[in-house]
Amino acid sequence: MADMTYTQLLKAITTFEKLLLQDAERIRSNAEAMDQMAGDTAREADVLSALAVDPFTIAEAKEVARALRGVGTAVLAYSAAGNTTARVAAAAAQQARTTHAGIKEQVSRAPVDITGVSREFLRQE
């Protein structure tokens, strides 16, 4: 991993988490729209049936409705995976805080200038 400061790491993780949550929400919204389209298409198929339209057209409309429902269900699962990934990013941010915040606090409280201390020494400690 490239050298990153604690602040850079925390910012990158929290930005990633926010983006994941926004994307998951957009995906969920699209899945709901697909589900709505599937319902509309199924109702249209029923209307076509009442109008005595040929059975092949009605069957095609019902098949489109089933396909839209299937895609909507898959997209909802994808959205849930995005939420799970965002929770993992939040856990990573918390782990970074737990692991590194104490070091940052100790460095800032040190009574002597330790900016020149070897990073390797700090990693070992």
Which pLDDT tens digit goes with each residue over 62-116?
Answer: 999 999 999 999 998 988 888 898 889 888 888 888 877 777 677 777 788 777 7
pLDDT of residue 124: 63
Compute CA distances 7 → 42, 44, 94, 99, 115, whole Å.
52, 55, 13, 13, 16
How many Å separate Cα 40 from the centre of its chain? 28
Report domain extents, the chain: 6-124
Contact 57, 48 (CB under 8 A): yes
pTM of the entire structure?
0.66
Q: Other C-beta atoms within 10 Å of 36: how many?
A: 12
